[in-house]
Amino acid sequence: MKKIFSILLSSALLLSCSEDILETQPYDRYTEETYWTSEKNAVAALNGCYAVLKEDGIYGGTATPLWEETATPNAYNYDNSFGFNVIALGTQTASPANSGEIINNRWTDSYRGIGRCNTLLAEVDKVPMSDALKTQMKAEAKFLRGLYYSLLEMYYGGVPLILEKPDVATQAELPRNTRAEVVEQVLKDLDEAASVLPAKYTAAADKGRATKGAALGIKARVLLFEASPLVNITNDLSKWTAAASAAKAVMDLAPQAGYDLFSNYRTLFLPANENNSEVIFDVQFKAPEQTGNSFDLINRQFNTNAPLRNLIDAYYMKDGLPINQSPLYNPAKPYENREPRFYQSLVFPGDTYMGAPVTATNPFKITGYTFKKYGIYDKEPSTIILNAGQSETNYMVMRYADVLLMYAEAQNEAVGPDVSVYAAINKVRQRAGLVPFEVPLGKTKSEMREIIRQERRIELAGEGFYYTDIRRWKTAEQVMNATIFNSQNQAIVKRTFNPARDYWWPVPQTQRDLNPNLAQNDNY
Amino acid sequence: MKHILPLLSLATSLSCFCSVRLEAQSSAVNLNKSNAAYADQPTFPDDHKLPKPVSNQLLSASTATPLKSILVADVPVRGRIAADNGDPLPGVTVVIKGTTVGTTSGADGSYSINVPDGKGTLVFSFIGFLTQEVAINNRTTLDVIMGNDAKALEEVVVIGYGTEKKVNLTGAVSTLGMKQKENMPITNASQALHGVGGVWVNQAGGKPGQDAGSIRIRGVGTTNNNNPLVLVDGIEYNMNDINPATIETITVLKDASAAIYGSRAANGVILVTTKSGRKGKSEVNYSFSHGIQSATFIPDAVWDPILYMQSKNQALRNEGKTVVDYSDAQIEEYRAGMATNPYAYPNRNYFDEIIKNGYLQQHNLRFSGGSDKIVYSLALGFMDQDGIFIAANHANRYSLDLNTSANLSEKIKVGATIKTMYRKYTEPAQGTEAFINRFFRVLPIFASYLEDGSYGSAVFTTPGQNIIANPYMTLKEGMNEHASFRTLTKIFADINLPFHFTYSANLGIDKLDGAADDVNGASRQFNPYMTTYHPLTKAPNFYNPTPYSYIYNQNNLNLSAYHTLSWNQKLADAHNLSAMGGMSYTKFDNSFSSSQVYGYFDNSLTDINAGSINPQVTGRHTEDLLLSYFGRVGYDFKEKYLLDATVRYDGSGRFRQGRRWGLYYGLSAGWRLDQEAFFKNVTALNFVDLFKIRASYGELGNQAVALYSYSPTVNLGSDYAFNNTIAAGAAITSAVDRDISWETTHTYDIGTDFSAWNGMVNLSFDVFKKRTTDILRQVNIPAQVGGLTGPTRNIGVVDNTGYDISLSHRNTIRNFKYEVAGEFGYVKNEVIDLDDARVVGARRITIEGYPLDSYYLYEAIGIYQNQDEVNNSAKISNAVKPGYIRYKDQNNDGKINGDDRIITGSTIPKYTYGFNINVGFKDISLSSFFQGVQGVDLYPTANLATPFNNGAGVTNEWITDSWTPENPNAKLPILTTATGATENFQPSTFFLRDGSYMRLKNIQLKYNLPVTLISKVHLSNLSVFANGENIVTFTKFRDFDPEKTITQDNLYEYPSLKTFSFGVNATF
């Protein structure tokens, strides 16, 4: 009060305008100028780069990876969560009405991550701290930048390649680079990250950070995409070789990093076994202190990733044979004598779920099925009810089984089904509990290709990888031009897939509205 | 007499008290029945006990002793004097013609005078009214109704830091006397502005406790904050936090006249003046009203469960699905079940059951009065409102207002205004919008309660309805209370200085505790444990298995201090000069804190203390600073040529050093033709009371950007949890333009005021142009720039051009009186320059050459009638079938994509209007007020606007008027689900609706009981009244009440309310 009057008085007399009394500043945020001054701050900025992994467009939000499965013959998203059903139907557009949907979000969130990594890479050298830590942090940021850019190039093709700190003036109007340019940068980032990052961390508080194996694993995934028919039109075998050796590099790291398949396929996906030996890289969810994911809610109640009959039929019988080859299959009792992963991943009519019997329409009305993979619920009743954002199960971006299957696929394509191919796939089948687990010897390259693809589909079912698999294999135009069925073999809807268009997502119209220099993908 | 002279000069320089002073002087003048200058003609002998008009105020009964009692055989004549609207008129001079014998009427309008022999004529005169002469003719009771005298209108209007005679205004200023709105069921002061010229009030919904209208003055100048600056008794304040019953007048500054408020004036300025006391007999006024409220519009949902299920199935089939939601067996089961087990198979209209009649009651009690030394007004208000939902929508408001001032000496006057209000309202636990969202998803097959009293889910599951939102449960469980306590204390001192100077110092302290309006911050919230149970299997469906408690507390202290030095002087009896200079300093100290905790076992304990898991806290403190210097110079020559200039120099803490200071000014001039000799001397023109031409130009600012918008910041909170241990994360989340500064609005106005036939006809007409440059807008940037939120920037130029007309006619024919008055405003909005950029949202675009936020949509050109039409045209996707909407391929590239959108429609009404039709006969009056907007479009989407939106229900229109091969000319496309056939629910002109409407906002019937009757119980005035509010609406919009938030496309707003109320208003 006194101050006010003295201000009034002095100003009335002198009519001087002092800037000081107008000076105010926030006390709940740092200004950019003063931020890059301490190790703590720099580490927090790197954590902010990781945090983007939890966004809707990447691996987080409600259940993005689970829903991505619904753009494949594996599952069905009846209410078009994040726009995945529209993609499944082949009716996706660049339309602005899709804001909030995956085609927009993946673009935006990837760049959010990229921007944060670019900022860290640009600023971290200013910070007074040890060079070793700076080098380590830069390697983590490069890993993440490579990961985020890999999402962009695999879904949209070429995108603006921006490596500097976000700047509206210089970056807002940049056009798309070619996909090759983006891939080259992704590989460069991942290589540089792999050369610095440790095989594993000793401190518990560092579990979940990017490792050498993570960088090499994502590199293998990127190279596998490059080698696959969608983009490797001439089937350049050297690309398969490159992919195989990248995967092999992860396998070679196994003793040092402690990688191995986790013993139990069911519990591999439970929060109790987070950070187990099979994890190459995962998104570390935590609830309730943070917003977690909604995997449990989606599986238990929403049923928006409802498994389809087509996936049910793809599982082996317990003898390791497909249903059309195994004597164990009884069409009247289709859920009997199936392989263990079937029972460890799915809930089906006649099963028990949370203590209650499951029928074809109750409680999973959509198809009669639900996934139990990545959910805590099983046959037993549960008193823990997890709703939206309350699940903290880590999502495995890459696990060792994936590496083995990538290796098998690439090696088979590069040199044919050699011993190492059999060894890799058999290792996965052995853990799965198939009896016998061995793939019979003497398969041709193309027979082996089908076996590997089948194995990939089942082993990784419900985890969100199959959509990119069927695109890179260029099989989507067959498997997605199909009617989908529920547990009673009733047709649900007919899907379409336009091979001239649907292998790539459109550049979101909102982005093109903001930057008219962004060219659109073909036929959108 | 000697005392009065200095007062005259003081009066003209003092602010709010001026109006009453002038009235007082004038009534004194009238006593001598002369319009000559007061000081020149002392009429009364010294021994006359003239009531001393020292400190202003109307003469009233207690002090108005009869002027002279010198007569014999006097016969007392009594009566009551009222204005033509029926209100009692105090202070009216009553004189026996040809004598100096007289009196004045008391606060209740009554008078008593002794007349010799019951003969003669009484002369009634009062400033602003036509003088009347009435022969007594031996009557002892003589009631008089006084007609307005526009010629004598000395009405004074509050303008920035001062007052001005209305006839001498040079700016575009609308005034509203709250008398006009008396007895109406107004719950928020903003609602009173409906129908004020050039002002668009949009009251979206009638949610108890949160039913303020948004106010736009002369269009929308910016994409940023468009709210006008509101000052209550000179201090920036929130209209929500004042009791409308305590308002005397509201002044709206629409043009350069607002420039005195500088950097906050661009959206116009609203000056609220509250009721103060008057010298005279103490008066007690009490009013009460009680109203019944109901929704104006509720969507016409399908409630027949069988019809619903069949329609849903049909919709799914229509969009190509072969598996439908309800099998034939299920439908049959339901049909049978309805008869035997209504718990499980209900057949009911949920809207009828959840929506009831609400009520609104208000009590207002006011004590006022005063003496030579001190005047006071003490008002108490109470409002109690219960909304139309069966629970969780209750509002209360308690207010206390004290206005008082005292003359310490002839030179010094001090005073204080204290306004306090405690208000609170309740909402459903998860908020009103979330509740209505869910409520509009309720299906006819939802159970309500089961036999055991638990909440039911539904016998059949419906895709999309995974979590059953039983509306009984979501309304009744948990709590969500908003409460705030706010006090505005203003103290002031006015000091007369030598040489016609007056100094005025003012300090306002505005303290707010609680959280009434913060959307995110209920003061107290308990998000309860909620579960429904399957009606047959009793399987639980968890709505909210994890209850939490939340508290939020705001703590704001706003200090405003301003002082002014003013001077005025009349030179050579012709040149009126005035000058005022001042400065102000405003500091908003705002802080909040909130806490939230989980871990409740059930809904019995709700306090934060009872929780145990995952406690979370937030809080923040900010300062907002504004330092200003301002001044005004006025000049007129014989009230013929009027000039006014204002200037303001504002410094704001919202911008960085170097961009902080802005200079604003306004210039205006007026010419009173009616005062010109060439006008006055023409007899044929004598019917004209006022004819003025005026013009103004000014530059005003808008500084309303978020605090620290200029400062590039690194925000904490982007945390990550390594190995389940949370690690703090930080990130830059938005781009920043460091150089942002004020928006500037250049405002041009030319207008005229005209009044004729003693106020029978009044006309004001203004043409204006407002050009806002450097508009501040948070712009979107491509995500490739780090996925950042776009910066707030000064990006462009927006024009608002238009006109306002106000026209009124009133007349009194014997006991019959009537008034017709209308206000009409037109505004054309256009973005002039946007640096070639465009701002595109999901359905709207801002682009040069079009109004702000125009709709940006596919152009629907009908419905596909057959497969050939589908095959032979560009389609949005290959799922398009007959019955689907056909979009125009604007660029003929064979594809329907974003490039085919057109710019159309308007989110800003082009025309706003309001008009009154009032009639009265003797003590009965009927007034009606219509109000409307024209030229605005709405885009209704989501639950109950689109069919079966993600599992929601459908309206009957989609059943009866959607396309089928048999009904090819239907209004709507083929029935599908909104989520399943996205092709039909693209943003398109098909669903763009005309949002124009006209409504009978209020109709009021009032009866003033005769004085002769009520005076026996010591009442001076007693009226009873009945109101109808929002009872008739004319509109083409069929999806909801058209008065909704235009930029909110869904229907999740509290319904607008219609009110039938009655009440009494009594003065003792």
What pLDDT does B518 receive? 65
Bridge-based pairing state of the strands A483-485 and A491-494? antiparallel
Residue B786 token pair: 């780090």
What pLDDT does B53 receive? 36
Residue A87's beta-bridge partner residues?
A: none
B787 lies within 8 A of chain A by CB: yes
What pLDDT does B38 receive? 35
Q: How many helices (H) and strands (E) does chain B have?
A: 11, 53
Q: What are phi and psi of B41, to 5 degrees?
A: -125, 80
The whole-angstrom separation of Cα A244 and Cα A224 is 8
Residue B630's beta-bridge partner residues?
A: B582, B648
Residues of A within 8 A of B615 (CB-CB) are: none
Q: What are phi and psi of B122, to 5 degrees?
A: -95, 140
Q: CA angle at residue B175 from B171 to B179, to 5 degrees?
A: 165
Average pLDDT over every residue of B137-142: 81
Minimal Cβ distance to A205: which of B322, B585, B725: B725
Please judge whether A51 and B731 are an interchain contact, meaning their C-beta atoms are less than 8 angstroms apart: yes
Q: What is the dihedral of CA B180, B182, B186, B188, to 10 degrees?
A: 70
Question: For the CA atoms of chain A, what is the radius of gyration?
Answer: 25
Average pLDDT over every residue of A118-122: 97
Chain A contacts in chain B segment 433-452 (CB below 8 A):
none
Please judge whether B784 and A289 are an interchain contact, meaning their C-beta atoms are less than 8 angstroms apart: no
pLDDT band at B88 (very low <50, low <70, confident <90, very high): confident
What pLDDT does B149 receive? 56
pTM (predicted TM-score): 0.82
What pLDDT does B854 receive? 95
B783 lies within 8 A of chain A by CB: yes
Residue A491's beta-bridge partner residues?
A: A485
What one-letter code names the amino acid at B261? Y
Computed over every residue of chain A, the mean pLDDT equals 93
The whole-angstrom separation of Cα B439 and Cα B428 is 11
**CA distance, residue B734 to nearest chain A CA (Å):** 10
Spatial CB neighbours of B47, under 8 Å, sequence gap ≥ 6: none
pLDDT exceeds 60 at position B14: no
Please judge whether A491 and B788 are an interchain contact, meaning their C-beta atoms are less than 8 angstroms apart: no
Please judge whether A26 and B708 are an interchain contact, meaning their C-beta atoms are less than 8 angstroms apart: yes
pLDDT band at A97 (very low <50, low <70, confident <90, very high): low
The whole-angstrom separation of Cα B430 and Cα B471 is 12
- Considering only residues B918 and B66, tell me which one the structure prediction assigns the higher pLDDT: B918
Residue whose structure tokens are 């045209």: B873
Residue B423's beta-bridge partner residues?
A: B397, B484
Nearest CA in chain A to B895: A524
What pLDDT does A99 receive? 56
Q: What is the full DSSP assignment across B131-186?
A: -EEEE-TT-SB--EEEPB-GGG---EEEETTEEEEGGG--S-EEEEEGGGGTTS--
pLDDT exceeds 70 at position A78: yes
Residue B994's beta-bridge partner residues?
A: B937
Nearest to B321 by CA among A503, A300, A367: A367
Residues of B within 8 A of A155 (CB-CB) are: none
Q: What is the full DSSP assignment across B938-992?
A: E--BSBTTBTTGGG---BHHHHHSB-BTTBTT-SB-----TTT-GGGGSSBGGG-
Please judge whether A30 and B983 are an interchain contact, meaning their C-beta atoms are less than 8 angstroms apart: no
Q: Give the mutation candidate from A29, A37, A118 for the B interface (greatest B CB count, under 10 A).
A: A29
Q: Are B1031 and B1003 in contact (CB under 8 A)?
A: yes
Nearest to A25 by CA among B620, B413, B1019: B620
Which DSSP category does B898 fall into? G
What pLDDT does B71 receive? 42
Question: Model confidence over A318-368: pLDDT tens digits?
Answer: 999 999 999 999 999 999 999 999 999 999 999 999 999 999 988 898 999
Q: How many helices (H) and strands (E) does chain A have?
A: 20, 11
Minimal Cβ distance to B720: which of A47, A110, A174: A47
Nearest CA in chain B to A85: B980
Q: Are B675 and B639 in contact (CB under 8 A)?
A: yes
The whole-angstrom separation of Cα A11 and Cα B88 is 48
What pLDDT does B689 receive? 87
pLDDT exceeds 90 at position B655: no
Spatial CB neighbours of B469, under 8 Å, sequence gap ≥ 6: B438, B439, B441, B442, B543
Average pLDDT over every residue of B503-528: 86
Size of the A and B interface in Cβ pairs below 8 Å: 320
Please judge whether B980 and A80 are an interchain contact, meaning their C-beta atoms are less than 8 angstroms apart: yes
State percent of chain A over pLDDT 90. 84
What pLDDT does B836 receive? 77
Residue A143 token pair: 């890993």
Computed over every residue of chain B, the mean pLDDT equals 87
B536 lies within 8 A of chain A by CB: no
Question: For the CA atoms of chain B, what is the radius of gyration?
Answer: 32
Q: Give the mutation candidate from B584, B649, B720, B977 for the A interface (greatest A CB count, under 10 A).
A: B720
Minimal Cβ distance to B464: which of A7, A79, A392: A79
Minimal Cβ distance to A11: which of B325, B583, B726: B583
Q: What is the full DSSP assignment across B295-324?
A: ES----B---HHHHHHHHHHHHHHTT-SS-
C-beta atoms surrounding B285 within 10 Å = 20
**Is the N-terminal amide bond of A436 cis, ω within 30° of 0?**
yes
Minimal Cβ distance to A47: which of B466, B728, B876: B728
B722 lies within 8 A of chain A by CB: yes
Q: Are B713 and A29 in contact (CB under 8 A)?
A: yes
Nearest CA in chain B to A488: B323
The whole-angstrom separation of Cα A379 and Cα A356 is 8
b/e map B1016-1041, b = 16+ CB within 10 Å:
eeebbbbbebbbbbbbebebebebbb
- Considering only residues B23 and B402, tell me which one the structure prediction assigns the higher pLDDT: B402
The whole-angstrom separation of Cα A290 and Cα A51 is 11
Question: Model confidence over B158-212: pLDDT tens digits?
Answer: 888 888 888 888 988 988 888 888 888 888 889 888 888 888 899 888 999 888 8
Minimal Cβ distance to B720: which of A24, A50, A511: A50
B598 lies within 8 A of chain A by CB: yes
Q: What is the dihedral of CA A459, A461, A465, A469, to 10 degrees?
A: 80
**Edge-to-edge order in the sheet of strand B730-731:** A30-31, B713-716, B730-731
Nearest CA in chain B to A98: B842
pLDDT band at B521 (very low <50, low <70, confident <90, very high): low
Question: Model confidence over A371-380: pLDDT tens digits?
Answer: 999 999 999 9
Nearest to B479 by CA among B421, B530, B440: B530
Spatial CB neighbours of A218, under 8 Å, sequence gap ≥ 6: A143, A146, A147, A150, A190, A281, A397, A398
Please judge whether B545 and A290 are an interchain contact, meaning their C-beta atoms are less than 8 angstroms apart: no
Q: What are phi and psi of B375, to 5 degrees?
A: -125, 155
Minimal Cβ distance to A44: which of B620, B728, B951: B728
Residues of B within 8 A of A520 (CB-CB) are: 897
Residue whose structure tokens are 């992963």: A341
Write the ipTM.
0.92
Which DSSP category does A298 fall into? I
The whole-angstrom separation of Cα A310 and Cα A486 is 9
Residue B850 token pair: 């079009």
Question: What is the SS3 assignment for B540-571?
Answer: EEEEECCCEEEEEEEEEEEEEEEEEEEEEEEE
Chain A contacts in chain B segment 639-658 (CB below 8 A):
649, 651-653, 657
The whole-angstrom separation of Cα B74 and Cα B54 is 31
Integer CA distances (angstroms), B9 to B155, B162, B576, B979, in order: 17, 14, 12, 72
